[in-house]
Structures are given as structure tokens and as C-alpha cells.
Amino acid sequence: MTKKVLSAIDLGISNQMVNPDAMNVIRKLQQQGFDGYIVGGGTRDLLLSKKPKDFDIVTNATPEMVKKIFKRNSIIIGRRFKIVHVVFDNLNFSRIINNRPAMEKHIIEISTYRSLKINQHSLNEYGKIMVDNNYGTQKDDATRRDFTINALYYDPIKEVVIDYHDGIKDLKKKMIRLIGDPEKRYIEDPVRILRAIRLSVKLGLDIEASTANYMEEFKPLLVHEHRSRMYEEMLKILLSGSSSKCIQQIKDFDLPKEVFMLFDRLFLCDNPDALSLRVLEKTDERLQTENAVSTIFILASLMWNMVNNSYQKLLPSGESPHQALMEAIFQNRGYANEIGITKNAYSAMTDVWLLQYEFENPTLRKIDRTLGNSRFRQSLHLYNLRNEFGEVDSKLNEWWNSLVESTDPEEKLTLIDNLKKVFQSSKPKKTRKKKAIPEHKRLDKAR
């Protein structure tokens, strides 16, 4: 393993391509006498002429020292390995809310070089690393990273890239190669199998032979992974911009069912869920055109048919439709928890589902409340998607979209006036069943 120091400019990258907040963090670290490099996806994607999702920074300063530099704008997080989040509040001039640019938080993650020393008592019964707060040198850190192309250290101030494992060669060959002995590296952390699949699909790279060969052997280890880690991996796949292809690859790879229960239920079976396939397609399209996507919309849409099936079963029970929907949402809570969806996320998804009812049953009284709901956008996306599948009244769907798109107050009022017409012509007339009056009440009435 020889350290190579290469000119960034010769490799076709420069600090002009780096996010200003990331530059700010690196400058401050270096001014205090510490290292500050971009590593991982940030450097890799720049070198592949792709726009990095984020810029992860690495330093020789401990988390506590980093915290001292960035003070109140930073927090130390993580248990398995402590890292620091530096938070920037930025104005987004392309998103205007109430005539003002929206305030958005941008987080830059800073980690400290990892050490090669792993205590035996930090490993669990399967040989997996559990506690990992030993700090090391840049060289150690490089050896601890997963793939050679993810172990490239870019200093955007000196404009150099440091390469210990021939990552640049592999990038040129468009190859994903594990650092070290694949057998050992997969036992240490089987999630690297999923990372190899995701990165190869997302970046259009091949997986080098021995890195690929051992994937098959060690995939059963993935069933022991903690559900929150698998949930994170599931989100990374959904947000990769190539989710359809990634899931197809996972299907071909024949992972144990328990690894991605939601994918298994929706896509890996003989009869995939058509609405969910469309969600993947739409999300990929948006990400490839650099449009924002919402995790809550994606999850709520993927689980919609489960909730809707429970809802349809509950409807004849005599409860009000709104109550039946609430009950259906409640019934699916356990499943959501099993696949790692947090209580907060499920509560946001609940809002998206409940708004479906409001879209389908609008009343003049509730329109404003519906429009002002913080989950309105995500819910409307799901409602539109259901319209594509003929699940909702298309006239009413058109009405909602016109109402949202209209910027003219007069036109809005006319649309609201029209609601009765649209709604009544589209809604199947309900014949209200007369409730039988219980015997004792009839007697009361007679008295």
C-alpha cells in the first residue's frame, strides 16, 4: 500500500465544484491546524463528473475538538462511532414561502480518522464491530473504508487527492473493489454487500470478481442486522435515483426475505404492487432531474395499498368511513414498526393518508384547513397517483389540482363556488340507511 498524492486539477476537479459550507468547514479546520478532507461519496462522485449527494468531511481532530471549533452550530452524535454535525441555516431563493426565501438547514458531517485497532470485546458474536471510538491516522482510516473508490481524500485548498488503495485506477476502470480481504470485510459488516449493489447500479460500475464472489456466501448474515440500519439502507436505495434498477438487482440477487421486508412484499413477489412500482419510477425521474423528493410521500405511497386494503375490509362494519380509515392506519402500525419506520414518520404518513379522505370528501368548511395542512403537497402527489390508477374521481381530482395551481383569487372563488357542481355530479349518490330505532327509544318517543 503506497500513498499517492495526486493533483486534483490533473484529475479534472477543483474547489469550484465543492459546496461553500463544506469549504467553510475545511478552511476552519485547517486554520486551527487540523486536517480537513472530503472523503467518500463527495470525492468519488466529483471524480466521476456526477453531482455529489453530500460532502462528508474527515479530520484528525477528535469530535470534542471539532465541537470546540464550531461551538453552538455543532452537535456530537452517534454511539457506535461519534461524529459531529455542523449545521448551517441557509436561505433558499428558489423556494419562496410567504414572499420570503425559505430557510433551510444544511448539515455537514465531520468524522475523525478511524483506527485499525479494534478491541475483541467490541465485536459481537458474528464478528461484527459494535463499539468503535478509537481514532487513528489517515492511513488507518483509508484501510477501514469499504471500497477503494470511497477511500480518496480530497483537500480542496491544496487541490490534492490522496489515494492509498489505487482508488483512482479503479475509478478509471469503473470498478468497485473492497479494500482488504473480502471474506473478512463482509463478516465485519455485511451491509457492505448492499452498498456494493447500490453503488454499482447508481454509478454504473462493475463489481470486481472477488468482491462479487463472496457476496453470495455472506448474504445470510444480513438477517442479523438491526432493523434501524436496514431501514436506513432501504431509504438509501429508495433515494438513490436508481431505485427501480436497484430493486431489480436485489430481486436477481435473491436476498433472504427478512432483509427488506417491504421490498419483498411489494416488489419481489410474483405480483408486484403497480402503484408502488410507479412511485419508484416517479422518484427516480425527480431525482435524476434534481427535483426534491419527500421520504414521507414515498413511504406513505408504498404502504398505501396495505392501509387501503384494511380500510376496504373495515368499511362494511358500519363505522364512519373516517373512523374506518383511522382504524386501518392503526392496524398497520405494527408492520411499519417492524420495518423500522419511526413513530414520528408514521404520524406524518398518517396525515398523508387522512388527507386522502378530505380530498375525496371535500366540504366548503374544510377546504382551507386541507390546503393549509403541512402534508398537503405529499398527499396531493399520492392522490394524483391514485387518480392515474383510476382509484379516485377524476373530475374531483382535476378540481383540486386547478384549485392549487390557480394564482388568481377571483378564479379560486369561482372554483370553490363550483365545488358543489363538480362534487355532486361526480359523487355516487349515497342512500343513507335509516338506522333502526332501538325498542326503548321508540317507547321514549311515544311517551
**Binding footprint of Mg ion on the chain (CB under 5 A):** 40-41, 54
Residue 3 · residue 160 · CB < 8 Å? no
Q: Residues 6 or more apart from 42 whose CB is under 8 A from it?
A: 18, 22, 52, 54, 55, 56, 154
Q: Which part of the chain contacts ligand ATP (CB under 6 A), choosing from 23-31, 142-150, 395-403, 409-417?
A: 142-150
CA 185, 190, 195, 201 torsion: positive or negative? positive
According to CB under 6 A, which residues from 248 to 287 bind ligand ATP?
none
Q: Which does 233 bind (CB under 5 to 8 A by kind): Mg ion, ligand ATP, none?
A: none
CB of 149 to ligand ATP, least distance (A): 8
Q: Which does 145 bind (CB under 5 to 8 A by kind): ligand ATP, Mg ion, none?
A: ligand ATP
Virtual torsion, Cα 129, 133, 135, 139, nearest 10 deg: 20
Q: Verify binding: residue 150, ligand ATP, rule CB under 6 A.
A: yes
Of the pair 107, 437, the CB lying nearest Mg ion is at 107
User: For ligand ATP, which residue of 67, 82, 165, 192 counts as binding (CB under 6 A)?
Assistant: 192
CB of 109 to Mg ion, least distance (A): 8
CB of 165 to Mg ion, least distance (A): 18
Q: Verify binding: residue 191, ligand ATP, rule CB under 6 A.
A: yes
CB of 68 to ligand ATP, least distance (A): 24
Residue recorded with cell 377546504: 367
User: For ligand ATP, which residue of 6, 17, 28, 53 counts as binding (CB under 6 A)?
Assistant: 53
Q: Verify binding: residue 340, ligand ATP, rule CB under 6 A.
A: no
CB of 189 to ligand ATP, least distance (A): 5
Residue 298 · residue 348 · CB < 8 Å? no
Q: Which does 50 bind (CB under 5 to 8 A by kind): Mg ion, ligand ATP, none?
A: none
Q: Verify binding: residue 41, ligand ATP, rule CB under 6 A.
A: yes
* Calpha distance 40→296 (Å, rounded): 27
Q: Which does 192 bind (CB under 5 to 8 A by kind): Mg ion, ligand ATP, none?
A: ligand ATP
For residue 348, CA distances in Å to 20, 234, 343, 345, 354 come to 32, 18, 9, 5, 10
Kindly state the DSSP code that residue 302 receives in the 8-state scheme: H
Closest listed residue to residue 1, CA positions, set 139, 131, 149? 139
Of the pair 96, 107, the CB lying nearest Mg ion is at 107
Name the H helices within 189-303.
191-203, 209-218, 227-238, 243-253, 261-266, 274-288, 295-302
Amino acid at 3: K
The cell numbers describing 154, all together, are: 480530497
Of the pair 58, 325, the CB lying nearest ligand ATP is at 58
The cell numbers describing 365, all together, are: 368548511
DSSP per residue, 121-160? GGB-TTS-B-----B--HHHHHHHSSBGGG-EEEETTTTE
Q: Verify binding: residue 177, ligand ATP, rule CB under 6 A.
A: no
User: For ligand ATP, which residue of 34, 36, 40, 356 counts as binding (CB under 6 A)?
Assistant: 40
For the chain, give the longest Cα–Cα distance.
100
Question: Which helix (DSSP H) or strand (DSSP E) does residue 162 occupy?
Answer: strand 160-163
Of the pair 56, 166, the CB lying nearest ligand ATP is at 56
Of the pair 217, 338, the CB lying nearest ligand ATP is at 217
Among all residues, whose Cβ is closest to ligand ATP? Answer: 41
Q: Residues interacting with ligand ATP, by CB under 6 A?
A: 40-41, 53-54, 56, 145-146, 150-151, 189, 191-192, 236
